[in-house]
Amino acid sequence: MTTEADVIAILARQSGVCADRIGPATEVAALGLDSLGLVETVFALEERFGVSIPFNANTDPGDRDFDLRTVAGIVAGLEALKARPAAA
């Protein structure tokens, strides 16, 4: 699976929205996830991709270092995190 397909699968599982209805431009807020659902989604993404996502549930989605507003934003953020060299 691609990063995008994995992100969509995780969002579908967390939100209950059919994966066929989720695409790159889909806004995460439109999926009906509450704050706990968003936190659980972040944990699922971290586990799946082996990264640590800079996330603070108390900040506005547009003010975060990691863009959680759209599927495309999540994919871009994950690709950037995966491209970073591992810390020693």
pLDDT at 40: 95
Mean pLDDT confidence for 59-77: 81
Measured from the Cβ of residue 75, the count of other Cβ atoms closer than 10 Å reads 19
Q: Are 11 and 54 in contact (CB under 8 A)?
A: no
What's this model's pTM, rounded to 2 decimal places? Answer: 0.87
Mean pLDDT of the chain: 89
pLDDT digits (tens, 9 = 90+) for 27-43: 999 999 988 999 999 99
Task: Delimit the domains of the chain by residue range.
Answer: 3-83
pLDDT at 8 over 80: yes
pLDDT at 56: 72
Pick the CATH number of 3-83 from 1.20.58.100, 3.30.390.10, 3.30.1340.30, 1.10.1200.10: 1.10.1200.10
d(CA 76, CA 5): 13
